Chain A
Amino acid sequence: MKPVPSTTLHDERARRPTARPRGAPTRRPRTDWRAWGAFALLAGPLLIGVGLFKYVAIGWSFLLSLSEARGTIALGHWVGLDNYRALLSDAVFRTSLVQILLFTLFIVPVTFAASLGLALLVHRIRRGRALLRTAFLIPAAVSYVAASLVWKMCLFNGLPAGIANTVGGWFGMSAVPWLQTTSPPLYWVVLVTLRLWLQVGFYMVLFLAGLQGIPKEIHEAAALDGATGLRLLRRITLPMLRNTSVAVLMLQFIAAFQAFDEFYNLFNSGLSGAATAPVRTPLVYLYDTAMGAQNYGLGSAGAFVLTALIVGVTLLQGRVTGFGKGEE
């Protein structure tokens, strides 16, 4: 069931209608009306969909956060800010906020540096660039769930035969349960390597696009003036990448705060919840609260606290880095 091939048959016809309005300005009122009709027809479903499934849902969720809603998403039992109060007085939720902040502070710079470094390396080489670019990008197409299972079952399982433990064995280390060792917290090795593997390639491509957008002349002029190596990088390349960097940073912050998939899948036993996991992100906590315990009021309140946090950090970051101000 692929509609795409049939459209190539309409090649010629397809070009004519788009050319008509430009060539015949006198017929403007009628074409305007038709354009509006087409606009409504094409954009309408999207706008209705976004309105219905995003904004109505967000509004409803906000009202839910002010209600006592257990096992139902019907409104009516208003409790004011009780849910927010309960949430912020819950040590588990507060711990999860602290943990996600620490995780973000660690993972964002590391992902940023790794993807930028990789982009600079890939950009420099002359042969096989496309191959390397593809190779690094492929992990971005893997789902978090699939990758989590590979990490959990093959690479970092607790058996001596696990890949990480086998490699450790070559250096005389005894087998350790990577995900369950809390002192030292080895589970972070699993979480961080997984996220880096999945994300670095994607951000690398964004940086590569930025690098390719820098005019060659600037580099040549700088080289003529004697700038080389690190100086060229710091004075020319990085400033020219500013817009890309700011966008990448913002995406990484949001992705870090929304961390769920790998935390859930690595620690979940397939039964109920992830209460025994050594680390629970806010989203894992909220999933357990809403989907496990059916406390939709508290879950919604948590969603808004987390959203406020993400918006706050993004605004702050925008202020510091000047996002959206443009180059000119």
Chain B
Amino acid sequence: MSAQTSQLSRRGFLGGSVLFVAGAAVGCTSNPTGGASGGAKTTLNVWSHAYGEAGTQQALTRYAAEFTKANPDIAVKVTWTPGDYAGKLNATLLTDAAPDVFEIGDFNDSLAWHGQIARLDDLYGSAKPDFNQGDLDTATVDGKLYGVKMIDDVMMLYYRKSALSKAGITPPDTFDALVAAAKALTTKNTKGLFLGNDGLGDSAIMAVWSNGGDLVADGKAVFGSPQAAEAVAGLKRLHDDQSLLLGFTTDWWDPAALVQNVVPMQWGGLWSMPAIRTALGDDFGVLPWPAYKPGGTPVVRVGGWTSCVNAKGKNVDAAKKFVQWLWIQQTDLQKDWSESYGFHIPPRKSVAASADKVAQGTAKETVELAAKYGRHNPGAWNSAVSSLFNAAAAKIVSGQGDASSLLADAARQAQSEIDKQRA
């Protein structure tokens, strides 16, 4: 190696370096994601997580191009972000490369508390009553709107009709029945139920809700309640029976385990339904997470993505214009986004009414379940708070301690976290 470097002339080295740097600079500035066009005064940087369904990236880029057509002075650069989206977004928000517009999954209040996202009340205009009240509520922090919900994602149980009827099992409508069904469907080589590779997924949250408990209410972490402890401790039965699929190659948000016939029941999202229908035809059904015991209630989780504007960005006005144009005004694009790739429920009631693909068959059942049993995560459910809760739940289901004391402890820490963030 040293023999080679001594042959480098200084001028040659410098010349080479300059060429290399110039090449790298050209390589970095040319835009690989498309969407931007020449002659625009402002370029908006729009971030999206990598949706799993084919065609989504192209669709978003197409929307951006249409926006630029309508507003020639604003170009839009769409950045598709695979991997740990929240982590990358949080890190980038601290820098000059921060996106002007970005989506966040399961909106929580901390970005608004930190002053990182702009108020968007004035964008809604006359369309506000047309938005689903639950979607307005999730994006509301201390009475002000900080985002526009793009899509509602419903999460519920999928099951294979044929597998259940073959085993002589009716779709479980109580938690006891779910435990029994999962156990009955478990054989030497297959498991009965897939909740997530960690054995939890959303199930701890669902358990609390299904037993009449709550997570955070009126700024108080209340998941240390007896109902919560009882229901989370109940999940341990699924683990003790060894009827849960663990360590699959994809996680619960992907339908692979169900469509590859690895499990007959899986926690999943409405977004997967087109893929599931393609693979299984009509041989599947959906269920809410069953009531923990009589007096409890079945639940489905309603999450989804919210479009926000970086309050510290350089192009706040243009960013607001883009969000308003796409996620409030362009109802046909919202419809396209909700039903042409994965299935989602459009937050605008009029769009939801016109989304005919989501309004038939099993998708329609899911929409009705969401209307009847749907629960949103509370606004204070940020990563610090949810981590405390889920870490406690993981300990409980693996038998490392008493449910009520673990949850009470986690709730106490979560409370101090919430208080500090609000301060």
Contact = CB atoms under 8 A, between A and B. Distances in A.
B360 interface: no
Interface string A259-299: 00000000111111101111000000001110111110000
Interface string A3-15: 1101111110111
Q: Which of B93, B116, B387 has the most CB of A within 10 A?
A: B387
Given A6-B12, A175-B189, A269-B198, A275 B247 contact: no
A148 to B, nearest CB: 13
Interface in B70-102: 83-84, 86-87, 90-91, 93-94
A294 B115 CA distance: 13
**Secondary structure type dominating chain A contacts:** loop
Contact of A275 (B199, B252, B390, B413): B390
B111 interface: yes
A195 B251 CA distance: 24
B33 interface: no
B13 A7 contact: yes
Contacts, number: 155
A308 interface: no
A26 interface: no
Interface in A1-46: 1, 3-4, 6-11, 13-15, 17-18, 38
B21 to A, nearest CB: 10
Interface residues of B, number: 61
Nearest to B11: A10
A6 B16 contact: yes
Interface string B39-82: 00000000000000000000000000000000000000000000
B23 A276 contact: no
Nearest to A162: B247
Given A157-B247, A157-B248, A182 B398 contact: yes
B87 A292 contact: yes
A74 B23 CA distance: 34
Interface in A134-183: 152-153, 156-160, 162, 174-175, 177-180, 182-183
Contacts of B384: 289, 292-293, 295
A294 B114 contact: yes
B110 interface: yes
A130 B139 CA distance: 62
Contacts of A276: 198-200, 390-391, 393-394
A177 B87 contact: no
Contact of A159 (B20, B247, B413, B420): B247
Given A72-B114, A162-B247, A294-B90, 15 more contacts: A1-B19, A1-B23, A38-B10, A68-B420, A70-B113, A70-B114, A70-B420, A152-B249, A158-B245, A179-B197, A180-B199, A270-B83, A288-B383, A291-B86, A292-B86
16 contacts: A1-B20, A9-B12, A71-B114, A90-B413, A157-B249, A159-B262, A267-B198, A270-B84, A270-B251, A272-B383, A275-B387, A276-B198, A276-B200, A278-B398, A292-B383, A293-B384
